Amino acid sequence: MAPPSVAAEASIVVRGPSVPRSEEVLTGEALEFLRDLHRQFDPRRRELLGRRGAFRASLESGRLPGFPRETAAVRDADWRVATPPRDLTDRRVEITGPTDRKMVINALNSGARVYMADFEDAHSPTWTATVAGQVNLQDAVRHRITYTSPEGPEYRLRDPLATLMVRPRGWHLEERHVTVGDQPVSASLFDFALFFFHNAAELVRRGTGPYFYLPKMEHYLEARLWNDVFVAAQERLGLPRGSVRATALIETLPAAFQMDEILYELREHSAGLNCGRWDYLFSFIKQFRNDRTVRFPDRDRLTMDTPFLTAYTHLLIRTCHRRGAHAMGGMAAQIPIKDDPAAHRAAIAKVVADKEREVRAGHDGTWVAHPGLVPVAMEVFDREMRTAHQIAVPLPPERIGPRELLTVPPGPITAGGVHRNTRVAFLYLESWLQGLGCVPIDHLMEDAATAEIARSELWHWIHHGCLLDDGRPVGAALFRECLAQEVRLRRERGGAAGPGPSIDRAARLLEEVVLADVFEEFIPSRAYGELGDSPGGVGG
């Protein structure tokens, strides 16, 4: 790792409160490792974040964005990513979820091939939960994690275990509880550095490796930055180059135009691409936020069989397979419904149809959010995909260009759609403020991505004077009416002992971001300063 400049000489300071067993994570050597990564790479991170917005500027100028001219040689050349390691060759079902202790055990025991431990969309970044998550993963890597629930049952690991992957927070986020000089460190580097420092060598010793999912990138230079971080980290700890493997989530509209380039930048560390479809929808709406000619329909109309989403997934599959990389499918939001057999059957049928669509399109694996859906998805992929993956399976040629990727689908905006968006955004934000980043709402698993879709549609509908299918305007009055109803229902459910302050803060924050003149880039960034710490997370 390059030595810091004299001007960069500054100590690293932990400003977070005491957390059980934090001394096992926030060691002097680990913090020094994080500090050095910050010194070497944070200036580039900030520069790259400052360059975001060029894609939207192109849209708003009336020019149709295209694939980057400067990287045409990369797209045209014949190259392939590194061969996947043994435990990432067959990834037919992956489970994702937060890093609380019970979830970590259940996910590793779920029967899925991979567990993505999520410090991002399914994580509310309280200091306690963030540090506890690192402790929990450290225990899981060493197969010593246990948990005893308040009700009495004990949870332990049992073979076979899912392969562990970790999703750090995106480049745009910071960890306010740790500073170098007067600057907070990158949340991406914080999550990566602590996990890598404590676990990378142990994972390699056990025959696996430090594997990651990389979120929210908008440009291939952001993938290059990650690759340089991997190279520096491996050199620092004396690990073979290529020990790290990373799957890049294509979950922003600009990144959809740079899939080849992102794979190329990560090629010696690449584990393919993933269709992060809910964040992709959010990014799509966000990129068109100032276009009054665009009219997005109700969220439930934006299904994966709409042409612009089909084009996105087919382009990802063809790009990955040309480069020898896995093309991973997305998340089905449905969860098992224990108290309503008919509703449960309907939910499972939707999951089956979604996974059949994915595997028949050519995906090499898929995501679920609940252990109860692992066998459902596994049955589909076992039935339809008899080999470890479909990388070598020929696909028919298909023209996928800017017009196919950018055509907004038609459809109605309904009063029910306004109310559902308000409900999801409010209830998710209220839970997030209490330290819960993955929340079941109306039998769907909602996380930051789906809440962002909801609030971005509300902002777009209100600020561009969109009309409901019955001719009424989608205005501030209708939104406030829906929000007031949800606040009232939440208070009734919570009772006198309910989380009143979080209800008030969630309602205020949602109203501020939905009715603000300027579109807020990310709700978590806006709400981070109001996020209190929460107890628990480490134990057993």
CA distances from 314 to 360, 504, 539 (A): 11, 43, 44
As a whole number of angstroms, the distance between CA 291 and CA 285 comes to 10
**The dihedral sign for the CA sequence 257, 261, 265, 266:** positive
H-helix or E-strand spanning residue 279: helix 277-287
As a whole number of angstroms, the distance between CA 365 and CA 77 comes to 26
Residues ≥6 apart with Cβ < 8 Å to 371 = 95, 106, 107, 109, 110, 111, 112
216: burial class by Cβ within 10 Å (0-12, 13-18, 19+)?
A: buried
Residue 476's Cβ-side half-sphere holds a number of Cα atoms within 13 Å equal to 9
As a whole number of angstroms, the distance between CA 392 and CA 323 comes to 10
**The dihedral sign for the CA sequence 127, 435, 371, 90:** negative
Structure tokens at 430: 């209220």
Chain center to CA of 101: 20
Residues marked as catalytic? 167, 447
As a whole number of angstroms, the distance between CA 66 and CA 418 comes to 33
Structure tokens at 17: 């409160």
Residue 357's Cβ-side half-sphere holds a number of Cα atoms within 13 Å equal to 18
As a whole number of angstroms, the distance between CA 107 and CA 102 comes to 8
Structure tokens at 145: 């994690």
Kindly report the backbone phi and psi dihedral angles of residue 441, in degrees, each rounded to the nearest multiple of 5, phi listed first: -130, 120
Nearest to 188 by CA among 154, 223, 159: 223
DSSP string, 35-104: HHHHHHHHHHHHHHHHTTTHHHHHHHTT----S-GGGHHHHHS---PPPPPGGGS--SEEEEE---HHHH
Which amino acid makes up residue 451?
A: A
